[in-house]
Amino acid sequence: MADNMTKEERGKQMSLVKNKNTKPELELKHLFWTLGYHYRYSNWNKLPGKPDLVFLKRKKVVFLHGCFWHRHPGCPNTRLPKSNIEFWENKLLKNVLHDEQVYAELEQLGWRYLIIWECEMKKSNRASLEERIHVFMDGDTV
Ligand SMILES: [Zn+2]
């Protein structure tokens, strides 16, 4: 069989793959596949914000956001550490502003986006998440 990768190259490639795919991300990909949505790219850096999943034909992208880093509104996972509050507030505010810029750029380019929060990946939230995914993937509006 055609296989021109050296052992070293393969090892390198595998560690890259490992770094890229965190557990919630893998679960997300699996979920979309089971729901019948086959993404074209993941972590695609040709679009603003490097979306986790890219559906080229539908012109839709999906982000999986950590509740803490991206400030999930009203979510208990966003509690700040007790020390260095000012540092954290500044840092996290920058994240939020960056996210907003990414969403605006995507909209300008004519892409629709869906934010999935990490806490939504919990089994107990799975049904409503699946519903949200269907609405987004099959609907015309976000
Ligand atoms: Zn959350």
> How far, in Å, is the centroid of ligand 1 from the Cα of 78?
7
Cβ burial, residue 115 (10 Å; 0-12/13-18/19+): middle
19 with 11: CB under 8 angstroms?
no
Distance CA 141, CA 112 (A): 8
> How far, in Å, is the centroid of ligand 1 from the Cα of 6?
42
State the distance between the two ends of the chain, measured CA to CA, in whole angstroms: 46
What percentage of the chain reaches a pLDDT higher than 90?
78
Average pLDDT over residues 51-74: 96
Bridge partner residues of 63 (DSSP):
115
> How far, in Å, is the centroid of ligand 1 from the Cα of 90?
20
Distance CA 115, CA 126 (A): 15
Band of pLDDT at residue 75, cut at 50, 70 and 90: very high
* Residues composing the chain: 142
Band of pLDDT at residue 1, cut at 50, 70 and 90: very low
> How far, in Å, is the centroid of ligand 1 from the Cα of 35?
22
Q: Locate 121 and state its tokens.
A: 């990946």
4, pLDDT greater than 70: no
Q: What is the pTM of this model?
A: 0.81
Q: What is the pLDDT of residues 8-17, one digit of tens each?
A: 655 555 544 4
* Domains (range + CATH), the chain: 22-138 (3.40.960.10)
> How far, in Å, is the centroid of ligand 1 from the Cα of 66?
7
- Please give the residue that has the higher pLDDT: either 122 or 12: 122
Start-end of H helices in 38-108: 67-70, 85-108
